[in-house]
Structure formats: C-alpha cells, structure tokens
Structure 1
Amino acid sequence: MVQHVRAEGPYALGEALVAAGLRLRVCRVWAGDPLPESLAGVEALVVMGGPMAAYSDDGFPARGAELALLREALAAEVPVLGVGLGARLLAVAAGGVARTGSGSQVGWAEVRTGPAADRDPLFAGAPARLRVLHRHGDTMELPDGAALLASCERYPVQAFRVGGSAWGLRFHLEVDEAAADAFVTAFPEEAATAPGIRDAMPGELSGAGPLCAADAGPGPCRDLVFGRFAALVAARAAHTATRTFFTPRADAWEARFAADVPRYVAAVARMGLLPGQTALDLGCGSGRALPALRAGVGDKGKVLGVDVTSAMLTAAAREGRAGPACLLVADCHRLPLPPGATHGIFSAGLLDHLPAPPVALREWARVTAPGGTLLLFHPSGRAERAARHGRPLSPDDPLGEPNLRPMLDGNGWRLVCYEDTSEYFLARAVRAADEAHN
C-alpha cells in the first residue's frame, strides 16, 4: 500500500485486507519510504490519495516511479486498487489522461452507480446512489476499454475498472470515524468548508439509523467492495506470484532457451499423436512445443496452448506460434474444455510448481479421452536442476517416481514410462479408461 500523506491511511481498507489473511506493508512516501523495485512477492498494489497532481512531478518526486509500478502491475494482472490520487494515477498508467479540474470538490456528495457496476466483481449489488467523501480538484479521462462504474454531475469519472483486476475510486470509501478525525486534523481549512466531515457522517457511521438504497452511506458499500477486493487478492495469490515472475521475463524467454527446441521436438514425438487429434500444451510459455504438436496432429487436428500469464502468450504470438495453435489464458486447475476434449497433453516444467498437483492431474484427466497421453517433460533432469539451484533433491518432489506414480494412479492416469536422466526428465502416462470423464 502506497500512502502519500499520513491522514490518508489504510483505515477500513487495511482492515479488510488483514481480515482476508493478507500481510499489509505500507510504503509511507510522505516519510521517505522507498517504493519496491519490483512486484515480486506482492499479491496486490493499493495506491492511496494525496494532494499532489497525477499529471505533474511538481511536489511529487515519486510520481514516475509510482506510474512505472502501476504499469508493471497492469501488465502482470496484479490486483490494483487506486483511491483518490491513486485512481488518477491508475488512469494515467493505463493510458488515460489526468489534468486540472474546474475546482475543488470537498465533503459529502452523492455518486450514482452505472450499468457496468451491476456486472462488476466488486460493485455488483451496490446501491444505485451512494453518499461518499470527496477531496479532489483534478479531472481525468479514462483509457479506451475501461469500465465506468460510478459518476456524479461535477466530476463524471468516480469509479472505474481497467481490465479484470484494477479498480480506481475517486472518492474515499475507506472513511470511518478515525479517517474523518485524521482529515479534520490534517486539513483544517478544507474541513471547515466541507459539509459535516465529522459531525454529519451518513448512515451507520453517524448512528443515524438504518440505511436505505436511496441515501446509502459508505458503510455497507465499503464493506462489500473492500471485502470482495481482499477476497479476490487472496484467491488469486498463486496466479499473481506466477505472473509477477514470468511477465518481466517473457520478452527474453524464447531467446534464453532457444537451444532446448530440439529436445522439445523429440519429447513431443514420444506422445504418439495421430492426424486429426487434439493436443494441449499446458503452461506453454512462449510456445516452444506448439509447432511439434501441430506436426503431430496435422492440418486437420487442433492444438491449444494454455498459460496463466498473458505476457508469455504475447511472446508466443510474436514468435509466430499463434498460427500452429490457439492461445488461451486459463487456469490449468479449471480448464474451459468439455470432458474428453483432448487426446494428448504436453506439459513442461509445470506440475511441480502448482499449488495443488493432484487437483490439476484430475482436471487434466477430465478433459482427456480414454487412452489419451500425458507427457510431463523438462529439458534437464531433476538432479541437474536441483544442483543448478544449489539444493539437494527433495524426497517430497512431486516428480520423484515414488511420489508421481501413486499421484497419477489416484487421479485418472497410469504411468507407463519414467526417465530421469542428466539430459532430460520425461514421464509418460495414459488416461485410464475406467475413470474416464468422472
């Protein structure tokens, strides 16, 4: 969480994140805390408000670094929440524009949710009208493709979503009594002209009785939005870790491992694919195996390359591999395919990095026809990889034969070939017919 001024802290938002089991690290820009150099190990990025301008470096020396961090988060699909100034920075980072507005909007005012809010992962079910706390004077134009979630008359862009994982809130939904007190203390002149910052907090925050949809205060909507954001962050943590690792490496991935292509071709040949069949590469990365899979199934067959990191699929397309295969962003634990859709699955260096290998194997069995093939591969052996990383082979390694064989047997597969040499790792399994499509 990037905090620009002491008064605009985590408050209710921080409470929701901690309640979801997340560890909150607050980067106090106002106190000189350095921004992280990358998002490695970061499960979400939250950028709070402040009096600075999103369109100028004047009085805002961290602006360039914050925009770079937001762009990195957008590229890796790291969940993002921008509040106040953070929302305007998010819009700029995504390709929008921020500029000076027509004057300050400070205090409580109504915003209205729009049609897109009804389908939004955070705002679905929010009241149509909501009284929220404003403190801003700048305006912004959203980038193409952004979804406008809430508006008001003076400044139409009040809440928006960019892509499927980044949200901006121009208003301060995180307010509670502590936040209001901090605002009054930090900005006495603005508080003096604002309508009821401390004394007229609406709805449940002022003890004024039950809320109705037509005059809802921030409490219920705040809990809804922040609770959903925190749950989304926690649920995507494993994917986020994968994406933050691979996204900055995607452009150089193919060149770095180009020498491995002949080994991939030889491994795919061991699958025994036939013309007209369907082949699937799970965790395809830059698509090194896709041309060989296409050669195996021929022009009338189908090849799908699946990865959870969009940047890797972009690299695959750049290498010309969108022609041999259909490229798909998907979670290999929940494939968007019907039962028995594929005849062969190729997967290189994926299974032992998954949070739940047995669950993945069961899902892979579901989408494979009886007698279909699963080929687990790596262009170096287990011992060589362990030595490269300066560690011994672990007896708990899921790719070790004593662990892999029963895991395959219990999840719809039968191991028929296991080779772990200094040159490569290869395990070939066949889809068990008696458990087909369970």
Structure 2
Amino acid sequence: MNLSNSSQCLNGGQYFRYNNETSKWWSCKCLPCFKGSLCEIQYNYIQFSWTSLISVDIQYSKTNNEKIILKSIYFIITTLIFLISIIQNVFCLITYFRKQIRITTCGIYLINYSLYSLLSITLREITIINTIIIDKYNFFICPILPALSSIIISLSLWTSSFIAAERMLIECFGYSLYRTRKYSFIFSIILLNLIFLTHITEFKRRKLKPDPILPNIYRCTSDDFEWSEKPWKIIDRILTREYLHIGVPCLLHLISTIFILPHIVKHKIYINETENQFWQILLIQLKRHKDFLIPPILVMLCTLPRLLVELITSQYCLDFNMKFILRIYILFRYIYYLPQTIPFFIYVYPSSVYTNQFRQTKIALYLFKKNKTFLSQTDVMRKEKRIVDLKLLDSPQISYEQPVCTAKSTDPTWV
C-alpha cells in the first residue's frame, strides 16, 4: 500500500494506492465533513436543526441498547421540561390576569411572554416526538415548524427585554406604573410584525435533505444561500438571528440592569465604623429587590452561551463522530429554553407583590389550603426579618447621598 497526496483526491483527502499480485486499486481517505470517492461532497452537521442533531446523536450510536437509552433520555428530559413549562406558565397567566397586574403596561408584556412560552414549548415537544418516535418529515415538520418555533422564541426573548426596559423606565426615569396600556399593545403588535418579517429567510433556508452518511434518512437543515440568490443572502446576513434576535435583547437586559442596580442600592453609603456593615446593608438591599435582578441576569446567562457557541462553531465543521461537541451544542440549546420553562420562578416568586396576587387565586387557595398555618408562620418570620433590616438601615452611623434614580411607585416590586 502506498500513501500519497495525489491530486485525484479533493478537499485535502489522502490518496491510497494498493498494489499486489492479484489486483490494483486506490481510494481516498477524506477529512472530517467530506465524503465521496474523491472527497467531493461536503457536509456540516452544525447546519442541522437542534432536533435533527438529537436524531444524529441517536442514529450514530454504536449499539441498539445505546440507541434505546439515548431515546429514553431525550424523551424524558423534553417531556419533563414540557410539563414543568405548562404548569409554570399557567400559574403565571392566572397571576398576570388579576386586575392589579393586567392594568399595568408591564403586566401586558408578562402575559405575552407566558403565551409565547406556552407556544414555544408546545412546538418543541411536537418536534421532539416526531424526531424520536415517528422519525418522518414533511412540509409542516420542515420548514414550517422550525421557522415558527424560531419566530416564537425570538418573540419571547424580545418580550423579556421589553419587561426589563419597562421596569427601568419606571424605576429610574419616573414613568408612571399605571400609564395607558395602549403603548404596550402597540409595541407588541409592532414587535410581532418585525419578528415575522425578519424570519422570512428561515422559511427559505430550512430544507429537507438526505443524511450525508446514512441512506434513506432525511434531516431538516439550515442551508446558506447560493451566490445565485445574492439578494436573499444579503438580507439573511443583515437579519442574522445570532446578532439581532439574541445579541440585542441581551444588550437591553444588560443596560436595564446597569441602570436599576444603583437604584436598588439607593444611596452611596459611607460607613463610619466597619466595612462589614456596608456589605451587609448592600446584601440586604439586593436581596430585597431580587425581583429586579433575577430575570435579566438569568436570561443573559441562559442566552449568551448559545450565542457564543453558534458564533464559534459556525467557523468549524461538525462531523457525526464528534459526539462530545454535538452533545454540548444540544445542552446549550436546552439551557437556552430555560427562561421559557420556569417563568414562575423568574418573575412571580421573587416578587412579594406578584406572590401575594398568586396566593389569592383559586388554584393557589386550593393548593395551599392545608398549609395555611405554615404560610402564616412564614409570613411572620419574613415581617420580623424585615423589621430588623429596616432598623439596620436606619442606623445613625450611616449617611446617604441623593439617590441615583427616583420612582413614582411607592412599591417597586409591582413591576
């Protein structure tokens, strides 16, 4: 056997020539993401939808037992996420539809966010069931379903950034909490139309193509536009999902956090005695206003990893045998959907006002009927701790400057 880099092999393939007494033949050993007798066919699994990547991870398993285990793991995880998301978003909706919340502009955005999350998780569950159990594709499964899912996820992420921006306007710029809701309706309609228009290319990019390795198996891919389709290619680059629909909402969350954080601390504190007291008071303020910090920080932590991974992996090739990278990519997609899965723990539970509104709903009264004593004891403990914190803040050893931001709302936890 002789090895050479003959020009017969394309795309960096290595040429093997076999010579013996009975036969003479040759072959090309291709680099990752190339196949064919001359390595003339290029493929990249990074262009596949994330559900297709799950199918790739399952189909390229070494044994049938491994396939069954992977199918069970993916199905159980996705179904649990689906059930948790349904419960949490329903709890959020019955809370947001209470009059004292729905009459606010922020309440409208919160209602939209939960509705988008419900639609997103439902479409995702349908896709996973088709990928793992049915394993058949049609025009609805590809490209309609992935494109719709992408639109709704972008709507959800943008709406969460609107919630953060609304809180910033109320807390730091004196906007009224109860100003007319027509602004939230107008912005929501404009956002819906803009997101749909910027995702038109998704319907054209998503194509059903045969698997490059396995015969008679089709995958939903996201192809780049050919040079003959230059107008579409330019539009797609301008409206690319990674920069516009992930990067900009994360930037809005970051800006709102930077503006609200000084207001949470409220004053620049000068300590006369010990530095430890300053940090103690700072932690008390942050804990008291945790409902302002948890949503934007959690959204950024769940979203930015996916943005970074997609920007990095877009420059590289993902082959079917790169199992570790493949599963890391799938894991980050699951993390990306976490804010839509646990909205109750992000928006309702950290806020004492929203929590009290939820406790007044029929479903909460039914669930906590047997725990009234426990809840009352917990409320007493919280009140006692709050009194201690207020006494600490009113200590004469501390002097304050003027607050950075002022708000018209007497209770900032409303938003």
TM-score bracket, shorter-length normalisation = under 0.3
Say which one has the larger Rg. 2
Per residue, is there more helix in 1 or in 2? 2
Per residue, is there more strand in 1 or in 2? 1
TM-score for the superposition, normalised by structure 2: 0.26
TM-score for the superposition, normalised by structure 1: 0.25
Relative CO higher for 1 or 2, CA cutoff 8 Å, sep ≥ 6?
2
